[in-house]
Every structure is written in structure tokens, then in C-alpha cells.
Amino acid sequence: QKEVEQNSGPLSVPEGAIASLNCTYSDRVSQSFFWYRQYSGKSPELIMSIYSNGDKEDGRFTAQLNKASQYVSLLIRDSQPSDSATYLCAVNNLGYNKLIFGAGTRLAVHP
């Protein structure tokens, strides 16, 4: 079992729709959770961090965390073609400094 799992996609959504990206992790002691966006040929860009159960909203992005189910998700509202990228889920254990990444989900937003 991989430590962080994501559906590789591609996830295809029409412009203006809600894109829902999911991530599961195996280590119950994981404490910090991050979503990165990576455009083709570029480096990952941090878009959301979440540390406690529930929802965290930032503009069109909402991160959701459920530690009991070991599940993290990212919702992108009013999806735009410029949101087309690979979204990487990353997990960190406090006191254990490395980020563990999933392989990423490729999102395609079509006009």
C-alpha cells in the first residue's frame, strides 16, 4: 500500500464546474496536509495547507480533512481552463520533517 494515494486521472470537468480531487494516506499519525499545483514542466506551487479536521476555504479552493477516514480532498469551484494542471497531495508528520507526496491527479478543464 502506498503511503499517499491519488487517482491519476485525468479528471475532466467543464469550465465553471466544481472539480473534486481526492487523496488517502496510510499513516494515522500524519498531522499536516498540503495541496500543490504543478503545471507541466514547472515546479509544484503550494495552494492549500490544512491541519485540523473540517473544511478550509481560500478563494475558489476548499480543502477538506477527515483524519478518522484518513482522507483529504480539494474542491475547486468555478473551474477555469487555467486550473488545468497536476494536483499533488502531500502529507507530513509533525516532528518528522519530510513531505510524502502522492503521484498526483491530472485535472483538465475544458471550455
Partner 1 sequence: DAGVTQSPTHLIKTRGQQVTLRCSPKSGHDTVSWYQQALGQGPQFIFQYYEEEERQRGNFPDRFSGHQFPNYSSELNVNALLLGDSALYLCASSFTGSGWEQYFGPGTRLTVT
- Interface positions with partner 1 (CB under 8 A): 4, 32, 34, 36, 42-46, 49, 51, 88, 90, 92, 94, 96-104
Q: Which is nearer to partner 1, 71 or 101 (CB)?
A: 101
> In angstroms, rounded to a whole number, what is the distance separating the alpha carbons of residues 15 and 2?
32
Q: Which is nearer to partner 1, 83 or 87 (CB)?
A: 87
CB 6 within 8 A of CB 21: yes
* CB of residue 89 to partner 1, shortest distance in Å: 8
* CB of residue 74 to partner 1, shortest distance in Å: 15
**Four-residue CA torsion sign, 60, 26, 100, 67:** positive
Interior angle at CA 83, CA 10 and CA 90, nearest 5: 70
Residue whose entry in the numeric block shows the C-alpha cell 499533488: 88
* CB of residue 78 to partner 1, shortest distance in Å: 25
